[in-house]
Amino acid sequence: MKYSMILGAALCALGAMAEVEPSYVTEWTTTTVTDWTIVTITKTITVTPTSAATSTTTSVPEPTSVPATQAKVQDTAPAAAAETEAAVESVSTAAPSSTVESTSTVIAEQPEATTWSSAWSSTWSTTQAATTETAAQSTATASSTQTAANAYQSNVLYSHNVHRANHSSPDVAWSSDLESSAQVLASRCVYEHDTSINGGGYGQNIGYGTSADEVAVMISNLMYNDEMGYFENLYGQATPDMTLFEKWGHFSQIVWKGTTEVGCATVDCPSLGNVDSASSVPFTVCNYSPAGNYDGEYADNVLKPLGNPVWSAS
């Protein structure tokens, strides 16, 4: 796996010239949203929804709009760079309700990290065959594709749950609905967030530059291992100091106790909008529900580590 470095800024302006720049990003709205080539940039969005008497969470089936708070997430990886953007949601009250108010999202950049990409979602179709041999080949193709998809899902889930367990958070399960929304966005091949697809109401991480086979590298090594230390003095605080949010925003979404589902998709784009590249670029999107990173709820959702052995993807 290769790594590179680059700095990026703004939701729609990232990458370096003539090089495929991996990146990962996280953002939040009433929903939260989180995203290696030869360069890296991370962006984080913090959205703070407010309502009359209640605050909303991204778990609401039909959230309307949510005010957002901006935050930058910066990942640094030696001799490597990846862009990730995470959408993080900030809510005025500790108990999210069923209503979501106006939303305002700001994306900040996170330089230097390592990303993941490569298309695991290549589609396959079976063709009616006139011979038994053709039918057998078609079946083998379908089986191979399904196996690849299952391996991808397993890597995503393990790289989340191995760390969530260290923070006393329950395992997240795979959501085909969140995967479907992620697939729609990734297939557009434009490096940007969109948490309104299929009704929205979820958090989101996006990244590019690393193959799907290495999705665990971004989630585990970059978002968790590289960021965990920055949150060391913030455990137990309902509303922690957000000054360094860009350095730990991905980590907090990964271990957020209230999040129960995740769904990701990776598409190999011939070219990726908002990113300068001389070759195809893998674009990955991960959606989370309910979204994490709500102001006033960190103490209950980001718990101190138990001291389990550190796990890194390779």
192, 260, 276 from 178: Cα distances, Å: 17, 12, 28
Sign of the torsion formed by the C-alpha atoms of 17, 72, 79 and 21: negative
Confidence of residue 143 (pLDDT cuts 50, 70, 90): low
Read off the tokens for 274.
């908002």
Q: Is 56:96 a contact under the CB 8 Å cutoff?
A: yes
pTM of the model: 0.60
Q: Choose the weakest-confidence range: 40-49, 98-107, 252-261, 273-282.
A: 98-107
Confirm if 214 and 43 have CB atoms less than 8 A apart: no
> What is the pLDDT at residue 222?
85
Lowest mean per-residue pLDDT among 59-63, 81-85, 155-159: 59-63
How far is Cα 118 from Cα 105, in angstroms, rounded to an integer? 28
**224-254 per-position pLDDT tens digit:** 999 999 999 999 999 999 999 989 988 998 9
pLDDT at residue 52 greater than cutoff 60: no
Cα–Cα separations (whole angstroms), residue 154 to 28, 92, 172, 218: 25, 35, 11, 15
pLDDT at 89 exceeding the cut of 60:
no
pLDDT of residue 21: 43
Residue 9 CA: distances (Å) to CA of 20, 60, 265: 16, 31, 24
Q: Mind listing the pLDDT tens digit for each residue in 278-306?
A: 789 888 889 999 998 889 999 999 999 99
In this prediction, residue 210 carries a pLDDT of 83
Show the domains of the chain with their CATH numbers: 147-301 (3.40.33.10)
**What integer pLDDT is reported at residue 257 of this predicted model?**
97
- Please report where in the chains the tokens 């078609």 appear, as a residue: 138
101-110, 142-151, 200-209: the lowest-pLDDT one = 101-110
